[in-house]
Chain A
Amino acid sequence: MDFWVTDDQVALAEGMRAFVAGRFPAEWLHSVEETDAVLDRTKWRELGDMGVFSLRSDGMGAREATLVYEELGRGLVPGPLVATHLAAELIDGAADGTRIVSMFEPSGGVTMIEHATEVDDLLWFDGHDLRRIDPASLTLDPVGRPLDPLGPVLICLDGLDQVRSNSAVIATGTPVRELSELGVLLTAALQVGVAAAATDLANEYAKGREQFGRPIGSFQAVKHMLAEMFVHADVARAAVRAGGCALDDASDAEPARAVSGAKAVAGHAALFCGKTGIQIHGGMGFTWEVDAQRYWKRAVALDVSFGSTDDHSLAIADMLIRP
């Protein structure tokens, strides 16, 4: 057993972090969120060139994918990164980033689709089937003010039966379950990145911000919040990486439990670090300008994608009593 990152894996993550910092800098993120079109097809193809969507068919595993997606989450890279990754082997052009694929996730009578008018295809996990939907076939109503400024959403006004009849089943059975598990895990990896970035931002702020003549990070009340953020993010990271191993080597653990656990723990971590990061920034945390709010908003958006913390907690409870 050697559950520690290899040098190659460290290099992969560092390369991705540098790429994200270079191509998705804060100034760029802040400028596109003021427009209706957040997705940039040139940058999306660059993500494709970096192997973000194809790395598993390039010989790497789910564990490497978690490292890459943690970095994407850290950098608040916008767009349906997970859905496009899942489509890589099913929809031509997804793997290299020439087609952008988002998710169709109906929930509680409302279907909110992120980036619906900017993407080429939608994926729908419809029971045992995976369906491909042409977004142009849907009646869509844009949400005026999306919660996540980097995640424009549209409401689908069509009934599910109608959507079903206008879509095509592109996979069924076991491969669908496996793709769904991968989707859960990669979303959890994004959440770890968000949690870690929120922690880093608050940590740096606490070192520089002075009140009562001292850096606020010298007060134990603040110190302890920072430590709790770090703990949440680090525990979630371990869970996500173990989930990657479980998907790659099905013998190690039950993949369904591993990925559900990772999503629940990472979802909680992202929300916790998001809100605590805002608190540590004080009044500035409540401004549009400071990224603390962006991490929290992304944490919310990711929590309700591929099953919420609540959904996965319940799923695990049921696994506890299975014979």
Chain B
Amino acid sequence: MDLRYTDEEEQFRTELRAWLESVLPDVGPTPDRSDWPARRAYDSRWQRTLHDAGYAGINWPRDYGGRGASPTEHLIFLEETERARAPYVGMNFVGLLHAGPTLVVEATPEQKEHHLPGILRGDHIWCQGFSEPSAGSDLASLRCRAVRDGDDYVVSGQKIWTSFAHVADYCEMLVRTDTDAPKHRGITWLIMPMDAPGIDVRPLRTMEGSTEFCEMYLDEVRIPVSNRVGNENDGWRVAMVTLSFERGTAFVSEMLDSMELCRELAELARKVTRRGGTAWDDLGLRRELGMLAAELDALWALTRRNISEATRTGLVGAGGNVFKLAYTDLRHRMGDLALRLLDRASLSLDDIGELPTGRHVQGRIHALSMSIAAGTSQVQKNIVAERLLGQPKERGWTSG
């Protein structure tokens, strides 16, 4: 039980820090969030920069072009990139952290050769076609149909929450290939080229006002059978493989940003006036802020514990569910506090003069999605109660 980094880990950090200092001045300003071509170019360029320096696919195996870094090195990588305010993974997210790892484990040599380098270099953007309007928490009930026709699957149906679908090159798709089998056993995992005829992508406007998410309407889209990853009807297992890549690092950047946000809230409280003084004079508010900071520290400790567990066992156990439940709840409360601090200034999504209204109000809105995305808190609680605490399983709940 030791939180200190080894000499080798510190060496990795030192080199990375020096490299970041040398390349970041040339990165340029973040593009406008609604300028999709510029955003794609920006994210791809940064990925290419990482690639050329040997930092692409930091957690991927070396045999497939990754760096093969340990979970702790991955943590350091995320710590240093956050500290230096380097670009985020952006629209390379699905490729690097979801589809890519799945291909590494499950794809044929030809599929790997064709797709992995493009992901690592930032040439190919991937999106994810898993959720459907009627298949959210119960993902395995998905209905998007794929019918075999010669050397193709013909796919029709609807997908939703497909981030970056309008700029992506490929989509990792889950489709129904057997309607008679139990729901988990009739699903197949396909690589869908996004330029195939029959794909209609429609932006989905979120409550943040942004259009990161899309809906996809698929009308007899032909996908070659050679694009199937894993066996027919074995797609559920293939999709779950990506979970085995998780090393407890999924929320590191977010966590560090939240800790910074907490310090900013303290600064804000000292600035905004209330009842003849500042908000900071309010002991109740200060205590809340102190508690949030304590909880963030605790979750930072939990993060490092989960990463250490992954280093030892190769997997994050229940710690991942515990983290997500606690972290998303914390972000809701942090967001509520931010709005109360801003008082009537919280009515603006943009900064007001010197007041960083935008960051705090948008942060609060974003927190509303955190307890829904990637497994709602209610599903997470079911998992903790059933798998960890051994309570009876929910009927029809068979993913455990």
Contacts and interface: CB of A to CB of B under 8 A. Distances in A.
B384 interface: yes
Of A223, A238, A245, A257, most buried by chain B (CB within 10 Å of CB) is A238
A317 B266 contact: yes
Q: Is the interface of B mostly helix, strand, loop or mixed?
A: helix
A321 B267 contact: yes
Nearest to B389: A203
A223 B385 contact: yes
A257 B263 CA distance: 14
A228 B378 CA distance: 11
Given A239-B297, A245-B3, A249-B4, A317 B382 contact: no
A261 B325 contact: no
Q: Does more than half of chain A's interface fall in helix, strand or loop, or is it mixed?
A: helix
Nearest to B9: A1
Contact of B3 (A220, A242, A260, A312): A242
B298 interface: yes
A155 B358 CA distance: 53
A2 B385 contact: no
Contacts, number: 186
Interface in B290-319: 290-291, 293-295, 297-302, 304-305, 307-309, 311-312, 318-319
A227 B389 contact: yes
Contacts of B384: 226-227, 230-231
Interface stretch (A98-106, A124-132, A210-218): A210-218
A6 interface: yes
Nearest to A257: B297
Interface string B331-346: 0000000000000000
Contacts of A5: 1
B325 A3 contact: no
B294 A226 contact: no
A244 B322 CA distance: 21
Contacts of A315: 290
B388 interface: yes
Given A1-B5, A321-B266, A261 B293 contact: yes
A224 B286 contact: no
Contacts of B266: 317, 320-321
Contacts of A317: 266, 286-287, 289-290, 293
A314 interface: yes
A234 interface: yes
Contacts of B391: 203, 206-207, 215, 217-218, 222-223, 226
A241 interface: yes
Nearest to B293: A316
Interface residues of B, number: 56
Contacts of B209: none
A35 interface: no
A252 interface: yes
A238 to B, nearest CB: 4
Contact of A258 (B5, B267, B297): B297
Contact of B297 (A206, A214, A261): A261
Nearest to A224: B381
Nearest to A64: B1
A308 B266 CA distance: 21
B357 interface: no
Interface string A256-279: 011011101100100000000000
Nearest to A246: B3
A1 B287 contact: no
A235 interface: yes
Contacts of A242: 3, 297-298, 300-301, 304
Interface in B367-387: 378, 380-382, 384-386
A312 B286 CA distance: 11
A112 B382 CA distance: 43
Given A261-B295, A313-B288, 12 more contacts: A1-B5, A3-B305, A3-B307, A3-B308, A4-B308, A4-B311, A5-B1, A228-B381, A230-B384, A244-B1, A312-B294, A316-B291
Interface of A: 1-6, 9, 63, 203, 206-207, 214-215, 217-218, 220, 222-224, 226-228, 230-232, 234-236, 238-239, 241-242, 244-246, 249, 251-253, 257-258, 260-262, 264-265, 268, 309-310, 312-321
16 contacts: A1-B9, A3-B301, A63-B1, A203-B389, A203-B390, A214-B392, A223-B391, A234-B319, A238-B301, A242-B300, A252-B3, A261-B297, A262-B294, A262-B298, A313-B290, A321-B270
